[in-house]
Amino acid sequence: MEYINKNPFSLYDFLGYFIPGAFFCYLLAITFNLEGFACFNFNLFDGLRAFDRSVAFVIISYVLGHALNYLSSLTIERYSIWSIGYPSRFILGEKQSCYLKKLNNKDDPEEKKRRKKELCISHMWRLLLLIVILPIYIIDIVAGKLLGFRNYYTNSVDPTLKKIIEKRIKQFKIKHKFTISSEGDYFRVIWHYYYENFGPHMVKLDKYVALYGFTRSVSFIFCAYSWIILITLLLHGISLYYFLIGYFLSSILSYIFYIAFVKFYRRFTLEGFMCLVIDKDLAEINVDNKN
């Protein structure tokens, strides 16, 4: 698209890649007391001039940011989808049934056997994910699920707007001839369509993508940092007092940025839904005799 071609380095690159990469570098430097780790005095680049050291640090931070962003999509985002569902669904009041999938007893024996094998593999990965993001998971279970805090960041829109959005989705399906399955994120089709055709909303959509990518990466960084502190305690025997402060502070910050990620992911989806609402072409489509 012309818009993307004119912006090879966007806000998403800066917030989603460079800042998380640089932030993680500095966290490692502080934790392991790596003197001279800063961009202006990186020991590995002693032979370089100050400007070259800065460029090297920017490159390292940017590349590391890509790795952190990808890992956060595999962990933080995946946990969000598996535990509370896609925003396109909980915005309309749909609730995720459970974190671990269940076997459908209505399937025939052969299909049931195949599904059982798939579910075993799926459960293994989902349980492994809980171990990786254990600091977030513990707080989310206590504060989010047991104390009901999830209701504040997974709330649905008001009934009137919900009814309008659901009608527009049906009209969008008729116009573009596609079906919505019970699983997956159908919102991607809506987002791509309006990103290409509703110019004024492109900036808002880009902003929310940048913000939810940034908060997702920072949440993963603090989660990983909690594990780094724990490993440091086991290997080097740091003070238990500093361990408790560092570990719990990192865990809480990781959960806070996780909530921020869900919030911006929700706003991003709601912005796409509002494009549906104001689309005049959809308003002319009759859904009374359509599925």
- Asked whether residue 291 is assigned to any structural domain, the reply reads no
Residue 21: pLDDT band (50, 70, 90) is very high
Is this structure's pTM higher than 0.75?
yes
Q: Which structure tokens are listed for 185? A: 């994120």
- Asked whether residue 289 is assigned to any structural domain, the reply reads no
What is the signed CA dihedral for 132, 133, 134, 139, rounded to 10 degrees? 180
Higher pLDDT, 154 or 177: 154
- Asked whether residue 199 is assigned to any structural domain, the reply reads yes
Q: Say if CB 58 and CB 39 are below 8 A apart.
A: yes
pLDDT given at position 247: 84
- Asked whether residue 290 is assigned to any structural domain, the reply reads no
Burial class (CB in 10 A: 0-12, 13-18, 19+), 78: middle
User: Whole-angstrom Cα distance, residue 17 to residue 61?
Assistant: 8
Q: Torsion-angle region of residue 277: left (phi > 0), alpha (psi -120 to 50) or beta?
A: alpha
pLDDT given at position 179: 75
- The set of residues, in sequence order, having a beta carbon less than 8 Å from that of 224 and lying 6+ positions away, is 24
- Asked whether residue 164 is assigned to any structural domain, the reply reads yes
Q: How many domains are there within the chain?
A: 1
- Asked whether residue 183 is assigned to any structural domain, the reply reads yes
Pick from 59, 26, 37, 80: which is nearest to 219 by CA? Answer: 80
Residue 256: pLDDT band (50, 70, 90) is very high
Residue 2 has pLDDT above 80, yes or no: no
- Asked whether residue 288 is assigned to any structural domain, the reply reads no
Q: Which domain holds residue 67?
A: 2-283
Higher pLDDT, 34 or 178: 178
Give the percent of the chain with pLDDT over 70: 82
Higher pLDDT, 74 or 231: 74
**Cβ atoms within 10 Å, residue 226:** 23
- Asked whether residue 189 is assigned to any structural domain, the reply reads yes
